[in-house]
Amino acid sequence: MFKTKFLLFVPFILMACKSSSNFTGFSYDPPGVTNTVGKTTEPQNRRVIGAGTPKIWISNEFGGARASDFYQIDANTFEILIRPENAPINNSPWFAFKIWSDSSHAVNLRLSYKSGKHRYLPKISGTQGSIIYSHVIQDAEYDTATGSTSFSLHVDQQPKTVSAHFLEGIRYSDLVAKAKRTQKPFVTIDTVGYTHENRPVFEFTANETDAPKAGVLVLLSRQHPPEVSGYRTYQAFWNELISDSELARRFRSHFIIKAYPMVNPDGVANGHWRHNVRGVDLNRDWENFNQPETQAIRDALLSLKEDASKKVLYGIDFHSTNENIFYPINEEIETKPDNLTQRWSVFIKEDNPDLNFRNEEFDTSSPISKNWIYKTFGSDAVTFEVDDELDEFETRELGANAARSLMKLLIEEWQRMETEE
């Protein structure tokens, strides 16, 4: 009798597993994205390259830089070739280089991408004497046939930085500096693992609760290096959570925050379009865990599962795309708490009417971090996508008000769960 039941049960388990193992990638993914075994990547040649007369110089000799080649097209037109770390790859051509000239004049620059088409508006920054300046090139000319983009720029002996996003505060070195600075007394910073290039994977923990049981909020960012607006939103979000406001203090009396601000530090330092240095999209590795970055964070979080005094309630993974959008877990799938993202998004839309936030629900079959959090802890989780071109002020406002509405919601949820128990 028992045997028959057992045999009937086996095919059901196989079928249940099948839907997730069949996941081959989202519509925007290249083929083979779920094979997260390491591949060969092409390191960029770090150097200073000169072209033309008088000479124009570019350099990719700094953290976060990406420029593969540089050459003259005609008297006053120069092309910068941008190649990804490996291909095929999702379309997110990151570029960052310094440019200067022996003489002062205007030149036409063309950004030409291999294995991708233009996505990010060029940003110019630098210093002139004691003045720091920065601006976005709004009128770059995009060529649909080649996928390249052109704009004119005044060059002189003082180097200017041309980049897909302003680099200030978002480089790997900025995070290392932040990790070394004294934080609030309740914040600890740990290294939970190391990347292929031996960079630490940082974990920031905010913990000042003395309650016998605490909720846990998990935050992830920068799995995809160029997704800077998502990272800036995360930074503002974190700052609000650890602030001295009455709400934040009340929140921290019930909740511990576990944050992994830069899941892909090698990718950020090397100016990658999307992958780690083994050519893998880390946000497709949350089932097979072939890469050290995902392994490190998984292992750090798994310890919470065994700890009866802590309960993971929610996970947020910050990204960027061409719009402001939440990817919640399907309403039909029961999470604990249930439909938190759907309830939270009402406040996000109310508080940010100009940002046109929308929701697009997904099932939990893909091997991404949000689904791993749900499958491991039973909690709700969301992929929080921020428009690529939201600026620093917009992301700061969004991150701060999103943190406030979530704290209120989670405190209510926690109190409701406590009275139910």
CB count in 10 Å sphere of residue 28? 9
Q: Which of residues 360-399 bind Zn ion (CB under 5 A)?
A: none
Number of residues engaging Zn ion in binding (CB under 5 A): 3
Q: Which is nearer to Zn ion, 151 or 231 (CB)?
A: 231
Q: Which is nearer to Zn ion, 67 or 368 (CB)?
A: 368
At its nearest, how many Å lie between Zn ion and the CB of residue 224?
4
CB 344 within 8 A of CB 357: no
Nearest-angstrom CA–CA distance, 395 and 229: 7
Selection from 115, 33, 31, 26 nearest residue 68 by Cα: 115
DSSP 362: B
At its nearest, how many Å lie between Zn ion and the CB of residue 298?
18
Q: Which is nearer to Zn ion, 209 or 369 (CB)?
A: 369
Nearest-angstrom CA–CA distance, 78 and 82: 13
Strand partners for 316: 219, 382
Q: Which of residues 318-357 bind Zn ion (CB under 5 A)?
A: 319
At its nearest, how many Å lie between Zn ion and the CB of residue 319?
3
Give me the residue label for tokens 């740990």. 190
At its nearest, how many Å lie between Zn ion and the CB of residue 294?
14
Q: Which is nearer to Zn ion, 98 or 224 (CB)?
A: 224
At its nearest, how many Å lie between Zn ion and the CB of residue 223?
6
Which residues have C-beta within 8 Å of that of residue 100, sequence separation ≥ 6?
Answer: 56, 57, 155, 156, 157, 158, 159, 160
Which residues have C-beta within 8 Å of that of residue 138, sequence separation ≥ 6?
Answer: 121
DSSP 22: T
Q: Which is nearer to Zn ion, 324 or 339 (CB)?
A: 324
The length of the chain in residues reads 421
At its nearest, how many Å lie between Zn ion and the CB of residue 287?
17
Is the dihedral angle over the CA atoms 88, 175, 314, 360 positive or is it negative?
Answer: negative
Q: Closest residue (Cβ) to Zn ion?
A: 319
At its nearest, how many Å lie between Zn ion and the CB of residue 383?
8
Which residues have C-beta within 8 Å of that of residue 124, sequence separation ≥ 6?
Answer: 133, 134, 135, 136, 137, 153, 160, 161, 162
Q: Which is nearer to Zn ion, 258 or 319 (CB)?
A: 319
| Binding string, residues 224-263; x marks residues near Zn ion by CB under 5 A | x--x------------------------------------
- State which amino acid sits at residue 108: N
At its nearest, how many Å lie between Zn ion and the CB of residue 59?
28
Q: What are phi and psi of 26, to 5 degrees?
A: -75, 170
Kindly give the pairing relationship between strand 48-51 and strand 56-59. antiparallel
Q: Is the peptide bond before 337 cis (omega within 30 degrees of 0)?
A: yes
Q: Which is nearer to Zn ion, 148 or 229 (CB)?
A: 229
SS3 412: helix
Q: Which is nearer to Zn ion, 148 or 291 (CB)?
A: 291
Q: Sheet containing 105-113: which strands, arranged edge to edge? A: 69-74, 77-82, 105-113, 149-155, 141-142
| Binding string, residues 3-32; x marks residues near Zn ion by CB under 5 A | ------------------------------
SS3 235: helix
Q: Which is nearer to Zn ion, 101 or 291 (CB)?
A: 291
Tell me: does residue 275 bind Zn ion (CB under 5 A).
no
Q: Which is nearer to Zn ion, 227 or 387 (CB)?
A: 227
At its nearest, how many Å lie between Zn ion and the CB of residue 226?
9
Q: Which of residues 283-322 bind Zn ion (CB under 5 A)?
A: 319
Q: Which of residues 197-226 bind Zn ion (CB under 5 A)?
A: 224
Residue ranges in contact with Zn ion by CB under 5 A? 224, 227, 319
